[in-house]
Chains A and B, each alone.
Chain A
């Protein structure tokens, strides 16, 4: 696992940064993509201090890359001399459900950010891995994508769509050296969730989630619920009869 090359799409997200640190400690070369140059630079300096052989920054809007997905991807891959071992797709927005209900433009924007653009990145990345004959593709979905709920179905639909897309890719590459991992985290204590009431056993740290992703990717797992108990929780939620589910305010 030493000296891997890694592309992180959405490198300023808390989980992505923790995942990047694990690779940095093993001497990886990384490309960090995101919008905020100053934050990306701070993360790159940190990763180098933690042992990364290199950490380069790619400043772009991942939801709507000005150069287009293909050209933007080619630029990142070129930074790594064309060899990409691992891609982590980690960006996303929680989005305002009420605003998306009231405004179709806002709804479309949320779907574009969390699903359409993400599927475009998976497509260009997967084609690259296919050409080189090996690699690992990791997409961060969410437990919210397992069943539509009144409180966040726009977010849930996007994350669920992304999970279905990645699942299809895992099927496409079954039996090859290309692994596709869909990650479904539960509640994580990150800046993105600071507006929610926290505490209690359901909340996990970004370090824990990143370590789980790292282990699952190395084992070649295709779907990861993290922490593990979310698999049980979501199995129950998916299978609740409508008459029960519809009475719940979740």
Chain B
């Protein structure tokens, strides 16, 4: 059926031919029907990718969210196999009471297993656990010719490495088998430490290598002697305590899109100052994992605060040797622009080899923040940031992107040529179309 779909950044509503199978066996026939009708297809989960990587304008989208059944869960070994549409939120209601937690989680629990694989998502424990793909034991990949291939690190290994982080372009991920980590409790031991300059972030990150999880929030408007001040947060699963998947407490929601962005220079400055100075900025104690990993999930449709024009997220990673200088330069430019977001994340990745050909995480430091869409002004700022990232030998995260120049993508992802050999001819996304139109796009800055 024809349906308009919006990605998380709300940058536009795009019409698609949409099918939503409920049972596994419906996926293959609906997939080929979509290809016949719309010419191309892409798997779609819960729509938490920010830009155009989950979209396929005018083409087919196969929505996986109703295919959310577990096939098997071994509570002795922590191995779980499930349909690709199972969300991490749902998974944890199944596994947490029995002492298991996903090995790697992104900053939202409203992602499907398929989406977690296709974007090879990372979390606050990249330095200790790598990315999501490192914990995938096997997956079922439906190709447009109808075949279902079981891919694993040791079976169809090339296709497996292309599918992990492959943006859904190698076929439809029908099921995923992952290895979970054992936890004694749903509580986290957490330490929050305020820091007054971005230099201190790098010191704190180095000192925190033995903490399972670490991440920092940064005040992106702070300049000069307090450039990149923020709050360093580190945590580990508590050795004892209750095991509940969902903490008590009311859910909030942004019920509708306000006519203009609520995030502007004034509100942002006030929020950042208040957040930096709040009592919790210096904290040592326990939190439920939900508030530690998913603070934004507590507010449904938080993406609406940016108003009808939507927003861009910018997430880059720069290599360790130049990270300090490059991050300082990026933060200086952002602070001078006076724009940005309440949530700005800075984190050091570990040096584990990437799980997939197009995996985003690599050794170095990653910076992520939102920009309200203010048209050319916002695009110009991001093009400015691109220059620093490119000079540093870094790259941007396709799951967050709606505007990166194709040459920056090509430079950041040297395995693209190898990846292309594994793409399914019927699978396509707006992101990929954009990357293939290299010449005209790269001149935009």
A39 touches B23 (CB 8 A): yes
With contacts A39-B23, A191-B22 taken as known, whether A45 is within 8 angstroms of B94 at the C-beta atoms is no
Kindly list chain B residues whose C-beta atoms are within 8 Å of the C-beta of A14.
22, 66
Q: Compute how far the CA of A25 lies from the CA of B71 in the bound complex, rounded to whole angstroms.
A: 15
In the complex the two chains form, what is the Cα distance from A191 to B94 in whole Å? 24
Which of A30-73 touch B at CB < 8 Å?
A: 38-39, 42-43, 45-46, 49-51
- Contacts A25-B93, A39-B23, A191-B22: A50 and B70 contacting too (C-beta < 8 A)? yes
A46 contacts B93, C-beta separation under 8 Å:
no
Interface status of A103 (Cβ within 8 A of chain B): no
**Which one of B20, B22, B69 lies within 8 Å of A46 (CB-CB)?**
B69
Point out which of B23, B69, B71 has the most chain A C-beta atoms below 10 A from its C-beta. Answer: B69
Counting contact residues on chain B (CB < 8 A from A), the size range is: 10 to 19
Q: Which residue of A lies closest to B1 (CB)?
A: A194
Whether the Cβ atoms of A45 and B25 lie closer than 8 Å is no
Decide: A49 near B25, CB < 8 A? Known: A25-B93, A191-B66, A194-B20. Answer: no
Complex A-B, nearest 3 residue pairs according to Cβ-Cβ distance, in ascending order: A49-B70, A46-B69, A49-B73
Given contacts A49-B71, A50-B94, contact A42 B1 (CB under 8 A): no
Interfacial chain B residues near A42, Cβ < 8 Å: 23-24, 69
**B206 contacts chain A at the CB level, 8 A cutoff:** no
Per-residue 0/1 for B10-25: is the Cβ within 8 Å of any A Cβ (1 yes, 0 no)?
0000000000101111
A49 touches B24 (CB 8 A): no
Q: Is the CB of B94 within 8 A of A43?
A: no
**Given A39-B25, A42-B24, 5 more pairs with CB closer than 8 A:** A14-B22, A14-B66, A42-B23, A45-B71, A194-B1
B25 touches A38 (CB 8 A): yes
Provide the bound-state CA to CA distance between A194 and B80, in Å. 30
> Would you give the shortest CB distance from B341 to chain A, in whole angstroms?
28
- Chain A residues with CB under 8 Å of B71's CB are 45-46, 49
B233 to chain A, nearest CB (A): 31
Secondary structure of the B side of the interface?
mixed
Q: Please, could you name 28 A-B residue pairs with CB atoms under 8 Å apart, sorted by A?
A: A25-B93, A25-B94, A25-B97, A38-B23, A38-B25, A39-B23, A42-B23, A42-B24, A43-B69, A45-B70, A45-B71, A45-B72, A46-B69, A46-B70, A46-B71, A49-B70, A49-B71, A49-B72, A49-B73, A49-B80, A49-B82, A50-B70, A50-B94, A51-B94, A51-B97, A191-B22, A191-B66, A194-B1
Residues of B within 8 A of A45 (CB): 69-72
Instruction: Find residues 60-102 in chain A having any chain B CB closer than 8 Å to their own CB.
Output: none
Count the A residues whose beta carbon is within 8 Å of the partner chain — how many?
13
On chain B, the residues within 8 Å of A49 by CB distance are: 70-73, 80, 82, 94
B59-77 Cβ-contact flags toward A at 8 Å (1 or 0) = 0000000100111110000
| Interface residue ranges, A against B (CB under 8 Å) | 14, 25, 38-39, 42-43, 45-46, 49-51, 191, 194
Whole-angstrom CA separation of A226 from B323 in the bound complex: 54
**B236 CB-CB contact with A under 8 Å:** no
Is B98 on the interface with A (CB-CB < 8 A)? yes
Contacts of A43 in B (CB 8 A): 69
CB proximity of A71 to chain B, nearest CB, Å = 29
Nearest CB of chain B from residue A175's CB, rounded to whole Å: 35
B20: chain A residues at CB < 8 Å are 191, 194
Chain B 85-102: CB-based contact to A (< 8 A → 1; otherwise 0): 000000001100110000
Chain A residues within 8 Å of B93, by CB:
25
Q: List B residues 1-50 near A (Cβ within 8 Å).
A: 1, 20, 22-25
Residues from chain A with a CB closer than 8 A to the CB of B23 are 38-39, 42
> B25 to chain A: which residues have CB within 8 Å?
38-39
- CA of A25 to CA of B94, assembled, Å: 7
8 Å CB contacts to A: which residues of B130-162?
Answer: none
A207 to chain B: closest residue by CB: B90
- Find residues 192-209 in chain B having any chain A CB closer than 8 Å to their own CB: none
In the docked arrangement, what's the CA distance between A45 and B98, Å?
17
Contacts of B97 in A (CB 8 A): 25, 51
The CA of A204 and the CA of B93, in the complex, are separated in Å by 21
CB B62 to nearest CB in A, in angstroms, measures 14
Q: How many whole Å from B301's CB to the nearest CB in chain A?
A: 13
In this complex, which of A25, A38, A46, A51 has the most chain B Cβ atoms within 10 angstroms of its Cβ?
A: A46
Which residues of the other chain, B, contact A46 by a CB distance below 8 angstroms?
69-71
When chains A and B are docked, how far (Å) is the Cα of A39 from the Cα of B23? 7
Most chain A CB within 10 A, of B1, B25, B72, B94, is at B94
- Note all chain A residues with C-beta closer than 8 A to B66: 14, 191
Q: How distant is the Cα of A25 from the Cα of B20 in the complex, in angstroms?
A: 26
Instruction: Pick from A38, A39, A42 the residue with the most CB of B within 10 Å.
Output: A42
B14 → A minimal CB distance (Å): 16
Least CB distance, A202 to chain B, in whole angstroms: 15
